[in-house]
Structure 1
Amino acid sequence: MFLPPVIFVALAALFFFGVGRDDRDALPSMLIGKPAPTLAVEPLDGQIFGDAVLRQGEVTLVNFWASWCGPCRDEHPLLAALAGDGVAIYGVNYKDKPANALRFLDQLGNPYEGIAADPAGRTAIEWGVYGVPETFVLDGQGRVVLRHPGPLTQAVIETSLRPAMERAAAAE
């Protein structure tokens, strides 16, 4: 007789405490500390960057994004601000139509030093991308220091991204 209410309270408690958790770390990257995978990307409007640019001796961000991605639109002003601060950001457009991707950049501005397209999503698979947006911090040797799944926020930039960039710069 008392068992159903006890089970209900236990499940309600699990749900209540589980909803408030930030499980971004539950999807860890196997790439941390390892060289970034090879880029198998295509040009986007004649622009492309390759593996050498990711190993040019400076801390670099690689941002996977798409025009159809609402959170990508939300984080875009923060990427522009980082670029304005001199952060090297390279964008990989994920499973998108080139015309839509270029329209997105025309409307919101282009914070990327280089952009490329991953129309089939093969590069994203190699990088362990679960969905867009995702941002990676690479050290000057092209090793992955941080993977951040989901949109960047000011809090994420201050508590996670910038400290990872500082660690990456100190390791060089």
Structure 2
Amino acid sequence: MLLPPLIFAALAGLFIWGMSREDPTQLPTAFAGKEAPPVQLDPLGESEPFTDADLRSGGIKLVNFWASWCAPCRVEHPNLKALSEEGVAIYGVNYKDKPGKAQDFLLELGNPFAELGADPKGQMALNWGVYGVPETFVVDGKGKVLFRFAGPLTERVIASELRPLLNGEQKAAQ
């Protein structure tokens, strides 16, 4: 009679320990320090989507996967706008969304993206190893992935994770 509760307690303890070991937003990427996977995007609106060459055109860039149906994307959007206003190049990948809904989202909240494209079937996201939206990759001027973050970019994440990368790139360019 005592064995089932002990087994349950042991399994529950292992589960809780496993969940608290690492920060789930710090999911590893196989591309850290390697070239970013290919860019395969459809146009969103009237402009042409960004390309591999754009990612390798010098300067650090953020590649942000987002969708209009994603509530955390709406929460992160003001922070993306603030980064964009500071001159950070943000390349947007609209993930599995309806073009009209995506354009309405940007009309309502503003467009922080230097360049933009649509990934209607999620193939580019799959190739990049995206777990969900929002998800952001930091790419250096040579097209190498420096960092990835799963979840909305908060002020804390920007200060602790992105600023050091952005400042390091600026120093390297001087």
Q: What is the CA–CA distance in structure 2 between the aligned matches of 1:130 and 1:99, rounded to whole Å?
A: 24
Q: 1:23-38 counterparts in 2 under 5 A?
A: 23-25=24-26, 27-38=27-38
Q: CA deviation at 1:142?
A: 1.0
The answer to whether the Cα contact below 8 Å between 1:140 and 1:169 also exists between their aligned partners in 2 is: no
SS of the residue corresponding to residue 32 of structure 2 reads coil
Q: What is the CA–CA distance in structure 2 between the aligned matches of 1:17 and 1:154, rounded to whole Å?
A: 28
RMSD, aligned α-carbons: 1.9
Q: CA deviation at 1:78?
A: 0.8
Give per-residue Cα distances to partners, 1:14-59, cap 9 Å, x unaligned: 344444452233x311111111122111111112222222111100
Determine whether 1:146 maps to 2:147: yes
Q: CA deviation at 1:108?
A: 0.5
Q: 1:1-172 counterparts in 2 under 5 A?
A: 1-21=1-21, 22-25=23-26, 27-47=27-47, 48-169=49-170
The runs of 4+ residues in structure 1 deviating greater than 6 Å are none
Q: What is the CA–CA distance in structure 2 between the aligned matches of 1:167 and 1:40, rounded to whole Å?
A: 29
SS of the residue corresponding to residue 24 of structure 1 reads coil
Q: CA deviation at 1:88?
A: 0.7
The answer to whether the Cα contact below 8 Å between 1:35 and 1:142 also exists between their aligned partners in 2 is: yes
Greater mean deviation of Cα atoms: 78-87 or 98-107? 78-87
Gaps of 5+ in 1: none
Query: Structure 2 length as normaliser, TM-score?
Result: 0.88
SS of the residue corresponding to residue 42 of structure 2 reads coil
Q: CA deviation at 1:4?
A: 2.8
Task: Work out the percentage of aligned pairs sharing the same amino acid.
Answer: 57
SS of the residue corresponding to residue 147 of structure 2 reads strand
SS of the residue corresponding to residue 136 of structure 1 reads strand
